Amino acid sequence: WSLSGLARDLKGLLDALGIARAHLVGDTLGGAVCLQFANDYPERVTGLVLCTAPYSFAERGGHYEALARGIEARGMEAYVRSSMDHRLEAHKTDPAYSEWYAREMSRTPARVAAGIYRSLAGVDLSPLLAGVRAPALVLVGDSSTSLPLEQARRLRRLLPNARLKVFKGEAGYIQHAIPERCARTA
Residue pLDDT, tens place only, 30-39? 999 999 999 9
The answer, yes or no, to whether residue 73 has pLDDT greater than 70, is yes
Residue ranges in 60-144 assigned as alpha helix (H): 61-74, 76-82, 84-87, 95-106, 110-120, 126-129
Higher pLDDT, 9 or 92: 9
What is the overall mean pLDDT for the chain? 91
pLDDT at residue 174, rounded to an integer: 79
Q: Which helix (H) or strand (E) holds 25?
A: strand 22-27
pLDDT at residue 71, rounded to an integer: 95
Q: What percent of the chain has pLDDT over 90?
A: 63
The answer, yes or no, to whether residue 185 has pLDDT greater than 80, is yes
The letter for the amino acid at 120 is L
Global confidence as pTM = 0.90
- At residue 4 the predicted structure's pLDDT band, cuts being 50, 70 and 90, is very high
pLDDT at residue 23, rounded to an integer: 97
149 and 142 Cβ atoms separated by less than 8 Å? yes
The answer, yes or no, to whether residue 21 has pLDDT greater than 90, is yes
The per-residue pLDDT for range 78-92, each reduced to its tens digit, is 999 888 877 887 777
The per-residue pLDDT for range 116-171, each reduced to its tens digit, is 999 998 899 999 999 999 999 999 988 887 888 999 999 999 999 999 999 898 77
Q: Is 138 left (phi over 0), alpha (psi -120 to 50) or beta?
A: beta
Q: Which helix (H) or strand (E) holds 175?
A: helix 174-177
